[in-house]
């Protein structure tokens, strides 16, 4: 690696950007200073608004001037395209090098996020099982209390209410924090005739259907399915898809 190239590599992205902009500006100034452009600009100076041709000689001269202007335009266009090709190739070079580690990181993120969603499902199952166990215990104690009260001739005590266990949706580590979110997705049209009775969906749009579903949910006309499950509404199947969210 040459000393000059090594110097460029060691610069920060901001420093490199500044120096490249300066270099590209210098290339542009050099291009506009070329003889081809100078001739075209000199010809343009003679082609001012209000120009009137009165003789054949003047017409020929104007034709030559316009030709010089056209040549200058073509030269500038060619030089601009060549200069614009430089950053395009730089972007391609960057993407080619970064693509592999980006793919590795993206795959790793997916693995972690998928595992997080599966863990959330496990936590919900455990909570449901614990709720069931607590409810069964409460029912057993209620039966025993009722039997004891009946034997003693006392009033039967009211049953103990077992509330739902709260399932946390965010897990925090030392530096990372992950949560989950559930998004309603219109997955398929099951009954097209019924779906098309809703004029907003005449040309079926999953986003329009989703928006209508959410509005109906807020109005209490339909119940959101549990994560991973689906519900049929107006001939369209809606699924609740859970995904991981990485927070700071």
Q: What is the average pLDDT across 118-140?
A: 90
| Structure confidence at residue 171 as a pLDDT band (50, 70, 90) | confident
Secondary structure class of 124 (helix, strand, coil): helix
Distance CA 130, CA 148 (A): 27
Angle between helices 56-152 and 13-32 (to 10 degrees): 160
Distance CA 162, CA 215 (A): 31
| Residue 205 · residue 78 · CB < 8 Å | no
Of 49, 84, 99, which residue constitutes the final position of a domain? 99
* Confidence (pLDDT) at 139: 85
| Structure confidence at residue 199 as a pLDDT band (50, 70, 90) | low
Of 43, 73, 99, which residue constitutes the final position of a domain? 99
Tell me, yes or no, whether 143 lies in a domain: no
| Residue 116 · residue 171 · CB < 8 Å | yes
| Structure confidence at residue 162 as a pLDDT band (50, 70, 90) | confident
Q: Indicate the number of domains in the chain.
A: 2
pLDDT digits (tens, 9 = 90+) for 201-236: 556 678 888 898 999 999 999 999 989 899 998 888
Phi/psi of residue 189, nearest 5 degrees: -95, 115
Of 75, 99, 123, which residue constitutes the final position of a domain? 99
Tell me, yes or no, whether 112 lies in a domain: no
Percent of the chain with pLDDT over 70: 95
| Structure confidence at residue 164 as a pLDDT band (50, 70, 90) | confident
Q: What is the domain range of residue 193? A: 171-247
β-pair partners for 189: 236
């Amino acid at each position: 690696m040459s000393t000059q190239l090594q110097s460029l590599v060691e610069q920060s992205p901001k420093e490199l950007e500044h120096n490249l902009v300066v270099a590209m500006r210098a290339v542009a100034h050099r291009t506009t200073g070329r003889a081809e452009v100078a001739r075209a600009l000199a010809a343009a100076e003679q082609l001012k608004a209000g120009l009137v041709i009165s003789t054949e000689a003047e017409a020929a001269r104007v034709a030559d001037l316009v030709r010089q202007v056209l040549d200058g335009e073509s030269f500038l266009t060619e030089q601009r395209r060549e200069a614009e090709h430089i950053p395009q190739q730089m972007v391609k070079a960057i993407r080619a090098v970064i693509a592999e580690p980006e793919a590795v990181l993206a795959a790793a993120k997916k693995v972690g996020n998928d595992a997080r969603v599966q863990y959330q499902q496990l936590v919900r199952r455990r909570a449901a099982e614990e709720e069931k166990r607590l409810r069964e215990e409460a029912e057993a104690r209620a039966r025993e209390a009722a039997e004891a009260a009946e034997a003693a001739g006392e009033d039967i005590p009211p049953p103990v209410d077992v509330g739902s266990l709260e399932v946390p949706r965010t897990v925090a580590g030392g530096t990372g924090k992950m949560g989950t979110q559930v998004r309603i997705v219109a997955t398929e049209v099951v009954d097209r005739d019924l779906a098309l009775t809703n004029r907003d969906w005449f040309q079926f749009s999953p986003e329009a259907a989703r928006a209508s579903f959410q509005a109906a949910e807020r109005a209490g006309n339909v119940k959101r399915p549990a994560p991973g499950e689906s519900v049929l509404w107006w001939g369209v199947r809606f699924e609740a898809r859970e995904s991981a969210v990485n927070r700071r």
